[in-house]
Amino acid sequence: MTTLRKSLASLLIPRLWPTGRPDLRRRVVIAFVFLLLAKLVNVTVPYFFKQALDLLDQGIALDQLVIGAVLGLVLAYGIARMLAQGFGELRDAVFAKVAQAAIRNLALETFNHLHALSLRFHLERQTGGLSRVIERGTKGIQFVLQFMTFNIVPTLVEIALVGGVLWWMYGWTFAVITVATIGGYILYTLAITEWRTKYRRQMNDEDTRANTRAIDSLLNYETVKYFTNEAHEADRYDDAMMRYERAAVKSQTTLAYLNLGQGAIIAVGLIAVMSLAVLGVRDKTMTLGDLVVVNAYLIQLYLPLNFLGFAYREIKQGLIDMEAMFKLLDVPQEIQDKPGAPALACERGEVEFSDVRFAYDPRREILSGVSFRIAPGAKVAVVGASGAGKSTLSRLLYRFYDIQGGRITIDGQDIRDVTQLSLRQCIGIVPQDTVLFNDTILYNIRYGRVGASDADVAEAARLAQLDHLISRLPDGMATMVGERGLKLSGGEKQRVAIARALLKNPKIMVFDEATSALDTHTEREIQAALAAAAEGCTTLVIAHRLSTVVDADEIIVLEEGRIAERGRHHALLAQGGLYAALWQKQQQAREAEEKVTGETVAVLSAAGD
């Protein structure tokens, strides 16, 4: 918790007093002035009431002068109450912009930090749990700011003022009892809340687990249906929710203990102070108005003090909720730009891998001394069995990971020496698994270059052979593609990915098994669009189907992280090695597929006749 408090101070205080924002700093000062005015005026409210009551209790004739004085005090009493509330509302209104700006900046910092973390982090994270952590963390920040600035600080100021007034008007005994009551209340609240913390943290853990299971199950909706495992998923979710239920019951039960103890402490303090006031009235050292004003001060103090307990609980819970989000901010960036790194000067687009060695886990090397060069405008293909390290090449070229040995250069510049932003701006990619945003076709294509005009987007769609699909859709480019693009077929999603890459207009293009998930017929249709995307670019093709790379300037065959063979298509076939064996195997599979397709068409034609 000490680390958390340091994180809280380092993250929130600079945002509540932000550098370069004199407007927000002025608001902080003005809000503090309104806070003092509100509490000073509020302290005078019972005093006006006391004076009016003492005038009425003097036993003198209520002539017009006395009635006028009493009415004047009543008016002052009403105005003071109105001003106290008014200054409080002005304080909240002035400070609201500061608080909301701090919340927004922290949320944005967390969002940017998550995007700056490595691919390794995002492959290991759980989306449902992560979204819950951010949601609760943002709400926690809001709670802490709201209660600290609008409740805790004002209450402490009011406690100090009331204690001082009681000491000045009625002696130290009243002030000591008041301070002792407040001290006991705070200590009891701290002790019980610390004890309850473990139950709140347990609630959060079970809530995160339940939400993760729910999101994971819904994202895999079709798989659940395929295997009729709805009951199994419901049982897993219910198990997590049952654990959450148990933790929540414990949390609520212990909350009752906290509230009962707080009520008892306040009651004892009230009894003690009111008893002293009654004795003062008996001894004629205090008037009936003094008795009423002491009660009014204590009630006036009791209300925010009672809320102080609630505010502390909310702050405590907010700190717990923020803890996980602060841990996210503490996750180091695995891939960072060197200090003062220049932008990549990508003019020709020459790519070179020189003795590259890489491992996701030190115990298993994925690439072992891979070297090849792609000349500007050339097309190099990398093929091989699954697990040979083909897709790793594209991730390394994008610098999602740093290599353990060798160099990767673009136009002679080591990609570790330039900014990641400039590196990725000069590379376009059509991945195997195209994931689209749950938005329109227009938005998803324009994502390749967000400032592109509608005409540029339409041209990219035409080159990707999407125009025929778009013309048949009732909403055209405004058609929603669904979550992860599920409303589109595999071939349609690939065309959107190609259009997006075309719109980016990069110097270097990567096709990462862009057609391996498609059937043979769709693959042939996509080939023309891929050729259009590769035109004029330095192209790296990572392929499973060898038929897509026969025109490559060089084909590299990877086996267990090493280059086993390299050359052009016909030369590799003539060698009769690994590539020739893969080619023969795939040709046989394709011929069998075409035979089955032909027989199916014949049967359907006969049935139609």
- Backbone phi and psi for residue 389, each to the nearest 5 degrees, phi listed first: 110, 15
Residue 146 lies in a domain: no
Residue 375 lies in a domain: yes
Give dist(CA 266, CA 299) in Å, integer. 10
Residue-level pLDDT at 522: 65
| CATH code at position 462 | 3.40.50.300
Residues 262 and 306: beta-carbon distance below 8 Å:
yes
Give dist(CA 598, CA 604) in Å, integer. 10
Residue 384 three-state SS: strand
Give dist(CA 161, CA 370) in Å, integer. 75
pLDDT digits (tens, 9 = 90+) for 239-261: 888 988 888 888 888 888 888 88
Give dist(CA 350, CA 343) in Å, integer. 16
| 498 and 510 assigned to the same domain | no
Q: Is the pLDDT of residue 182 over 80?
A: no
**pLDDT tier for residue 580 given thresholds of 50, 70 and 90:** very high
Give dist(CA 128, CA 126) in Å, integer. 6
Residues 546 and 383: beta-carbon distance below 8 Å:
yes
Query: Which pair of structure tokens corresponds to residue 308?
Result: 């102080």
| 178 and 283 assigned to the same domain | yes
| 190 and 241 assigned to the same domain | yes
Give dist(CA 398, CA 104) in Å, integer. 30
Residue 111 lies in a domain: yes
pLDDT digits (tens, 9 = 90+) for 481-507: 887 777 888 888 888 888 888 888 899
| 417 and 438 assigned to the same domain | no
Residue-level pLDDT at 1: 46
| 517 and 497 assigned to the same domain | no
pLDDT digits (tens, 9 = 90+) for 313-366: 677 777 777 777 777 777 788 888 999 999 999 989 999 999 999 998 888 889
Residue-level pLDDT at 163: 80
More confident residue, 3 or 211: 211
Residue-level pLDDT at 374: 94
Share the mean pLDDT of the chain.
81
Residue 462 lies in a domain: yes
Residue-level pLDDT at 78: 85
> Given CA atoms 417, 418, 421, 423 in this order, what sign does their dihedral have?
negative
| 32 and 60 assigned to the same domain | yes
Domain, as residue range, for 474: 433-504
Residue-level pLDDT at 446: 92
- What average pLDDT does range 267-281 have in this prediction? 83
pLDDT digits (tens, 9 = 90+) for 373-383: 999 999 999 99
pLDDT digits (tens, 9 = 90+) for 281-324: 787 777 777 777 777 777 777 677 666 666 776 777 777 777 77
Residue-level pLDDT at 608: 55
How would DSSP label each residue in 351-383?
Answer: EEEEEEEE-SBTTB-SEEEEEEEE-TT-EEEEE
| 193 and 280 assigned to the same domain | yes
Nearest to 477 by CA among 501, 498, 490, 460: 460
More confident residue, 111 or 342: 342
- Backbone phi and psi for residue 536, each to the nearest 5 degrees, phi listed first: 80, 0
Give dist(CA 409, CA 274) in Å, integer. 83
Q: Is the pLDDT of residue 464 over 50?
A: yes
How far, rounded to the nearest angstrom, does the alpha carbon of residue 122 sit from its chain's CA centroid?
13
| 179 and 277 assigned to the same domain | yes
Nearest to 464 by CA among 516, 514, 390, 427: 514
How far, rounded to the nearest angstrom, does the alpha carbon of residue 2 sit from its chain's CA centroid?
24
Last residue of a domain, one of 286, 310, 332: 332
Distances (CA, A) of 138 to 202, 315, 608: 19, 13, 62
CB atoms within 10 A of CB 210: 22
Question: What CA dihedral angle connects 246, 251, 252 and 253, to 10 degrees?
Answer: 90
Residue 331 three-state SS: coil
CB atoms within 10 A of CB 61: 7
Give dist(CA 280, CA 270) in Å, integer. 15
Question: Cα 41–44–48 angle (5° rounding)?
Answer: 135
Query: Which pair of structure tokens corresponds to residue 227?
Result: 């295997």
Residue 151 lies in a domain: no
Last residue of a domain, one of 57, 84, 116: 116
The tally of domains found in the chain comes to 4
- What average pLDDT does range 65-71 have in this prediction? 72
| 359 and 471 assigned to the same domain | no
Long-range CB pairs of 234-242, under 8 A, 24+ apart, other chains included: 237/210, 237/213, 240/206, 240/209, 240/210, 240/213, 241/206, 241/210
How far, rounded to the nearest angstrom, does the alpha carbon of residue 41 sit from its chain's CA centroid?
43
Residue 73 lies in a domain: yes
Please give the share of the chain, as a percent, with pLDDT higher than 90: 19
| 350 and 471 assigned to the same domain | no
Residue 308 lies in a domain: yes
| 468 and 529 assigned to the same domain | no
Give dist(CA 230, CA 208) in Å, integer. 21
Query: Which pair of structure tokens corresponds to residue 288?
Result: 């009936």
DSSP 8-state assignment for residue 426:
T
pLDDT digits (tens, 9 = 90+) for 418-450: 999 999 999 998 887 788 888 899 999 998 898
More confident residue, 591 or 538: 538
Residues 6 or more apart whose CB falls under 8 angstroms from that of 118 comprise 333, 334, 335, 400, 401
Last residue of a domain, one of 332, 355, 376: 332
pLDDT digits (tens, 9 = 90+) for 141-172: 777 777 777 777 777 777 788 788 888 888 88
Nearest to 526 by CA among 574, 471, 474, 464: 464
| 195 and 229 assigned to the same domain | yes
pTM: 0.66
Residue 596 lies in a domain: no
Distances (CA, A) of 234 to 124, 228, 230, 471: 24, 12, 6, 42
| CATH code at position 214 | 1.20.1560.10
